[in-house]
Amino acid sequence: MTTPPTRFAAALLASLVGLLAPAAPGAALPTAVDGIEVPSLAPMLKRVTPAVVNIATVTQIAVEQHPLLSDPFFRRFFDVPRERRERRGQSLGSGVIVDANAGLVLTNHHVVDKATEIEVTLHDGRKLRAELIGSDAETDVAVLRIPAEGLTAVGLADSDEIEVGDFVVAIGSPFGLSQTVTSGIVSALARTGLGIEGYESFIQTDASINPGNSGGPLVDLRGRLVGINTAILAPGGGNVGIGFAIPVNMARAVLEQIVAHGTVRRGLFGVGVQDLTPELAQALGTNVARAAVVASVEPGSAAAAAGLVPGDLITAINGRTVTGASDLRNRIGLMPIGTPVEVAVIRQGQPITLRGEVADPYARYRDGGTIDPSLAGALLGDLTKETRAGRVLAVGVGTVAQGSPAWQSGLREGDLLLEVNGTRVRDLQALAAVIGRDRGIARLQLQRGERVIVLTRR
């Protein structure tokens, strides 16, 4: 004797039979079977896909040439032309409109990096020239502006509220196939240590992501943006169901700073932290499972002013739970200079609340503290332990006032001064010595992201 099928099972069976049976010419799939609606993402996608764009870029790439062609004597003897040989490179990616009124598009930094031309193709086929407002290599986020005419934007979710198991949909242009939709679930949250970006807290998903999806949206079933697709783990070169997206909360923080300042102005809190391991928790005599342990506090820093001391367990920042050292670094690193910070701490088993603010790492060198007229308007400083992590020793460039001599010379926030007048400089003292010796600056060599740039006096 068999058990009669439930109404749901009967409807599901009828749906499958209907899908497998030959359809009449021109017939549409049923919207309901036995009175039960057939699930479909189509209504949500009709709202979201007009906000998804295809991005095509053009870059000028220097052509490698024989070393002899770089020798001045050889070039003069054989009358070799002095022009630099270049070839045009092209790449494809995706993006998503997040502000229809302002024409703002979110994408990846690596999609538009070094691009000399950026073209955006809309859902309706329009092709528009895009302006790069700014980008941030540390988070791999870039912001473009396109003419705000008849645009559709996607709504933003709170990525701190998504959970493992939530259904998500990736939309983009893999291999140039625009408006491709794939679906999956959130496989994991807060993935770090992948070495993809400087600030990592990825959403992992099994929604298929391939080359060309970069910069496109990852949305929930309500059509809200939860992440920006950015990378895949592909040991064999193809998709294996492990993709990564930048959480929309991180992308939103970068967007706001780029729109306001043209760049990301990262502050400094001045605290060294490490993850709370079970062994460390036992040694500290705490039952707390997840926190960032304060290992050191820089003298005179914002953290010291707030009252943090080594051994403190930081459990939350501004009301949001801190899961570990990387999480704390991400949250502080995305806060603009001057942001108030409320730190929930456990000290010797007792919960306390400390207050401070994110400091300007170069504040003491502001304005009148500059040491050469050509650098006026630039905020300079020695790299601290925190800011020089993984970087060469150099002089850091903070905020650069637009229109100032430093701005006109080509300096930008985040640059690292490596050489002045051909002499290596590792700190402000060395910089001052070179300027004093040469009585001015004729040539600067600096690092900007992964590029080394030389600026010369005009």
Report, as residue numbers or ranges, the catalytic residues: 110, 140, 214
Are the CB atoms for 236 and 195 separated by under 8 Å?
no
What are the start-end ranges of the H helices in 168-309? 248-261, 278-284, 302-306
CB-hemisphere CA count at 13 Å for 327? 19
Euclidean distance between CA atoms 245 and 432, whole angstroms: 44
| HEC-encoded secondary structure of 390-440 | CCCCCEEEEEECCCCHHHHHCCCCCCEEEEECCEECCCHHHHHHHHHHHCC
Q: In angstroms, what CA-CA distances link 268 with 192, 265, 349, 387?
A: 21, 10, 27, 8
- Most distant CA pair in the chain: distance in Å? 100
Are the CB atoms for 78 and 253 separated by under 8 Å?
no
* Tokens 């625009």 belong to residue: 178
Report the run of H or E that residue 9 belongs to, with start and end: helix 7-20
**Nearest-5° angle of CA 22, CA 25, CA 27?**
80
Mapped onto helix, strand or coil, the DSSP state of residue 255 is helix
Q: Which residues contact 310 (CB under 8 A, 6 or more apart)?
A: 294, 295, 296, 297
Tokens of 106: 């979110």
What are the start-end ranges of the H helices in 109-178? 109-112
Euclidean distance between CA atoms 415 and 394, whole angstroms: 10
Q: What is the dihedral of CA 364, 365, 368, 372, to 10 degrees?
A: 160
